[in-house]
Amino acid sequence: MTEMKTEMKTKTIIEKSFKHANILRVAGNTGVMIVEATTSYIPIEEFKAIFNYIGDSIAKEPVTKLIFDKTKLTVFHQPSMEWYFVEWKEKMFDLGLKVHRKILPADNVFKQSVKIGRDRIKQIFPNGKYNEMDIQYADSIEEAIQK
């Protein structure tokens, strides 16, 4: 059986490259940013640097949708997820970023880890602004842009 890959129809431009991820912009649409993991794991220091860079960008030029493409990740890191939800998303909410799309890897263990991690965050931080955000999952960047 041959696996067929479809070419992405939406043109993206790399805004900044990190060791473990790229930050992309959708050509002609300044309101969408994409974080594309390029390795199986993003160390927490770089994870914070990536999202702090995005926060600085959003403070200068509004972004209404963030897409986080995690398809290459194989390692789930709860402390990164907690920081992302409890600290970073709180600040981004105040800057107007309220639409988040996530693309998970096909790995069911990773998906289950994400679910358990989200449930834990909801228990510990039940009143977070993340509850007021439009957070959805997609299967591709194309779908995430449209959704």
pLDDT digits over 16-54, tens only? 999 999 999 988 877 999 999 999 999 999 999 999 999
Report d(CA 10, CA 129) in Å as an integer.
30
| pLDDT interval class at 8 (50, 70, 90) | low
Which residues are 69's β-sheet partners?
36, 103
Residue 1 is assigned to a structural domain of this protein: no
Q: Report the greatest alpha carbon distance in the chain.
A: 49
Instruction: Answer yes or no: is 13 within a domain.
Output: no
In a domain, 126, yes or no: yes
Question: Is there a domain that residue 23 lies in?
Answer: no
Q: Residue 58: which domain range?
A: 38-106+116-146
Q: Which pTM does this prediction carry?
A: 0.89
Q: Is residue 77 over pLDDT 60?
A: yes
Helix (H, G, I), strand (E, B) or coil at 143: helix
DSSP state of 2: P
Q: What is the CATH number of the domain that holds 87?
A: 3.30.750
Kindly state whether residue 99 falls inside one of the protein's structural domains. yes
Within a domain: 88: yes
Domain count, the chain: 1
Q: What's the pLDDT tens digit per position in 88-140?
A: 999 999 999 999 999 999 999 999 999 999 999 999 999 999 999 999 999 99
Domain assignment present for 74? yes
User: Do the beta carbons of residue 68 and residue 103 sit within 8 Å?
Assistant: yes
